[in-house]
Chains A and B, each alone.
Chain A
Amino acid sequence: EVQLVESGGGLVQPGRSLRLSCTASGFTFGDYAMSWVRQAPGKGLEWVGFIRSKAYGGTTEYAASVKGRFTISRDDSKSIAYLQMNSLKTEDTAVYYCTRGSGSSSDYFDYWGQGTLVTVSS
């Protein structure tokens, strides 16, 4: 059974940093791209970014709203994906979901974690 479990969320002050983790199980982690999607309270879904599998270079892509502040990385030996969030803003407050990307270029998100809430507030 595919499982994705996020951790690391919490309350953080504006301008500070936070790192989220996504621990995967039930599939060969290294074969898949991993994406992050967020949802502000009462709002819709927003794509944050993804990291390709090593077979596709392990490169990353980001939404304009987080580029230069957020970094996605992966540790295939531990089956963990990370989202490093720096210079956090109040508008980054959201539930952050880790997703598995399937298809030729992380086309669709076939499995999602339960989400972890990040609240950016002073």
Chain B
Amino acid sequence: EIVLTQSPDFQSVTPKEKVTITCRASQSIGSSLHWYQQKPDQSPKLLIKYASQSFSGVPSRFSGSGSGTDFTLTINSLEAEDAATYYCHQSSSLPRTFGQGTKVEIK
């Protein structure tokens, strides 16, 4: 099973700041890495697919990068509505796995 480890677990950020969340895979997964945002009491939403491809309708301040074992989700100029927990997820092999999540709080 591929283990995904996100860092940090929690981040408190002021609006307009840049946020960087990393996801490290226990073995190489190519670009089979996807990012989701889950706001409190809501279902998760897809942000980025295949490491760097933005999903339709996602604001341009969200971007993804990386390949192999190290991946990054970047939020440029954080907005108050971005307060959420962010998860990475791999589809390189079965079982599909998720990272433990990174909670982003707005100061």
Q: Which residues of A approach B to under 8 Å, CB–CB?
A: 35, 37, 44-47, 50, 61-64, 97, 102-103, 105-115
Contact = CB atoms under 8 A, between A and B. Distances in A.
Interface residues of B, number: 23
Contacts of A37: 44
Interface of B: 32, 34, 36, 38, 43-46, 49-50, 55, 85, 87, 89, 91, 94-101
A107 B32 contact: yes
A44 B87 contact: yes
A45 B44 contact: yes
A61 B45 CA distance: 22
Contacts of A103: 49-50, 91
Given A103-B91, A107-B34, A47 B45 contact: no
A64 B95 contact: yes
